[in-house]
C-alpha cells in the first residue's frame, strides 16, 4: 500500500476545500490561516498535484482537488462514526495536569474538539503552577515543558519551539524599523521569577548571550507566572520572552508583535512533553488524549 499523507494535512485540505477559504477553515479548526496553507502546501508537495488555484482574494479547487473532496468529506464522517462506536469502551474520567500558561493560551481553545470527539470522557484539567504528583494527586497525564521529565515516566515530545521577545505594538515602534538584539536593552525587560515557566524558559541573560549581547542585563518588573508577564507586555509595560504556543493568538490578534527579524527566532528553545506513568499507557483515555494532542500540535504548525 502507498503511504497515506498525514491526517492533519488531509483535515486542513478538506476544511479549506469545503469552505473555499483558508481563513474560514482556520476558524473551524482553531488554527491560523498560515497553518492551513502550510498543511495544504505539504499535501500538494507529497501528492505532486496542485489542489487549489490561489487567486488574489480567494481560492478555487483544481480538478484534482474537486475530485478528492467528496471522498474525504465522507471519509471524515466515517471516522467520526468509528469514534462513536468506541465511546462505550472509551468513556470515564481523565485527569490532566498542565501549566496555567499552556492551558490558557494553547490547550483551552482546542478542548472543544476533544470533547466533540470524546464526549464520554469526563476531562478534568488541573492548571496549577505546582508540579503534579501522579500517585498522590491521581493525575493520569500531564503536559510539561523543559528538559526530559523523570525517567520513570513515559515522555512523548509534543513540540519544540523557539523562544523570542514580544512587546505591544506601541512599545515595539520605539525600537525603529530594524532593531538588533542589543537595542532591546533600551526598553524595560519583564522577568520571570519562579513557577514552571520560569524554570523552563531561558532568562533574559541567557537569551541575550545566545543572541550575541553579553553583559549585565538591567533589572525590571518580575512575575511569578508567564501569563501575568504577557498581560503586562500587552499593556505596554515591557518586553517578555515567550514561546510561540504561548503568544501566537495574541500575535495574530495584533496585541503583541515580534520586534526582531526572523533570524533571531531560533535563539533559545523549549520542548513541551506529554508525560504519564508507564502503567497508564494502556489506558484508552490516555491514548486518546495523547494522540489528539499530537494531532493538534501538527495541525497548528507547532511541530518543528
Strand partners, 163: 243
What whole-number distance in Å separates Cα of residue 221 and Cα of residue 204? 12
87 within 8 A of 117, measured Cβ to Cβ: no
224 within 8 A of 193, measured Cβ to Cβ: yes
- Residue 279 φ/ψ, nearest 5 degrees: -65, -25
What whole-number distance in Å separates Cα of residue 208 and Cα of residue 203? 9
pTM: 0.67
Q: Return the H-helix or E-strand segment holding 207.
A: helix 204-210
Compute how many other C-beta atoms are within 10 angstroms of the C-beta atom of residue 207.
22
pLDDT at 89: 47
pLDDT at 83: 65
Compute how many other C-beta atoms are within 10 angstroms of the C-beta atom of residue 14.
19
Q: Would you give the distance in Å from CA 244 to the centre of its chain?
A: 7
pLDDT digits (tens, 9 = 90+) for 20-59: 999 999 988 888 999 999 999 999 999 999 999 988 888 9
> Is the alpha carbon torsion for 206, 207, 211, 213 positive or negative?
negative
Domains annotated on the chain, with CATH: 7-88 (1.10.10.10), 92-157+274-299 (3.40.190.10), 160-270 (3.40.190.10)
> Is the alpha carbon torsion for 27, 28, 31, 35 positive or negative?
negative
Q: Which residues contact 135 (CB under 8 A, 6 or more apart)?
A: 277
Decide if pLDDT at 110 tops 80: yes
Decide if pLDDT at 304 tops 50: no
Average pLDDT, the chain: 86
What whole-number distance in Å separates Cα of residue 230 and Cα of residue 66? 43
Q: Which of 152, 163, 195, 188 is nearest to 260 (CA)?
A: 163
DSSP letters spanning 92-139: EEEEEEE-HHHIIIIIGGGHHHHHHH-TTEEEEEE--SSPPPHHHH--
pLDDT digits (tens, 9 = 90+) for 204-220: 988 898 888 888 888 88
Lowest-pLDDT range of 107-121, 188-202, 217-231, 280-294? 188-202
Decide if pLDDT at 172 tops 50: yes
What whole-number distance in Å separates Cα of residue 134 and Cα of residue 224? 24
168/279: higher pLDDT: 168
The number of residues making up the chain comes to 304
- Residue 124 φ/ψ, nearest 5 degrees: -120, 125
Quick one: average pLDDT of 255-268?
A: 71
CA distances from 129 to 1, 154, 194, 226, 241 (A): 47, 21, 9, 11, 18
Amino acid at each position: 500500500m502507498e503511504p497515506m499523507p498525514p491526517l492533519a494535512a488531509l483535515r486542513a485540505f478538506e476544511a479549506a476545500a469545503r469552505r473555499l477559504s483558508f481563513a474560514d477553515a482556520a476558524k473551524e479548526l482553531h488554527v491560523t490561516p498560515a497553518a492551513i496553507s502550510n498543511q495544504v502546501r505539504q499535501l500538494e508537495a507529497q501528492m505532486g498535484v496542485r489542489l487549489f488555484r490561489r487567486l488574489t482574494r480567494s481560492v478555487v479547487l483544481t480538478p484534482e482537488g474537486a475530485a478528492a473532496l467528496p471522498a474525504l468529506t465522507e471519509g471524515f464522517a466515517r471516522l467520526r462514526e468509528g469514534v462513536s462506536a468506541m465511546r462505550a469502551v472509551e468513556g470515564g474520567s481523565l485527569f490532566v495536569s498542565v501549566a496555567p500558561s499552556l492551558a490558557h493560551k494553547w490547550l483551552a481553545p482546542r478542548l472543544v474538539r476533544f470533547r466533540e470527539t470524546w464526549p464520554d470522557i469526563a476531562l478534568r484539567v488541573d492548571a496549577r503552577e505546582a508540579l503534579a504528583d501522579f500517585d498522590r494527586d491521581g493525575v493520569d497525564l500531564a503536559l510539561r515543558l523543559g528538559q526530559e521529565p523523570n525517567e520513570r515516566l513515559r515522555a512523548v515530545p509534543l513540540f519544540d519551539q523557539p523562544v523570542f521577545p514580544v512587546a505591544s505594538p506601541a512599545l515595539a515602534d520605539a525600537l525603529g524599523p530594524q532593531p538588533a538584539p542589543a537595542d532591546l536593552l533600551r526598553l524595560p525587560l519583564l522577568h520571570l521569577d519562579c513557577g514552571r515557566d520560569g524554570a523552563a524558559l531561558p532568562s533574559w541573560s541567557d537569551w541575550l548571550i545566545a543572541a550575541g549581547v553579553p553583559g549585565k542585563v538591567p533589572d525590571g518588573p518580575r512575575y511569578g507566572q508567564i501569563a501575568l508577564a504577557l498581560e503586562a507586555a500587552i499593556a505596554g509595560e515591557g518586553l517578555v520572552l515567550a514561546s510561540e504556543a504561548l503568544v501566537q493568538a495574541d500575535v495574530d490578534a495584533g496585541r503583541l508583535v515580534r520586534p526582531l527579524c526572523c533570524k533571531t527566532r531560533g535563539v533559545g528553545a523549549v520542548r513541551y512533553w506529554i508525560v504519564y506513568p508507564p502503567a497508564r499507557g494502556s489506558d484508552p483515555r490516555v491514548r486518546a488524549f495523547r494522540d489528539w494532542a499530537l494531532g493538534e500540535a501538527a495541525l497548528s504548525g507547532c511541530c518543528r
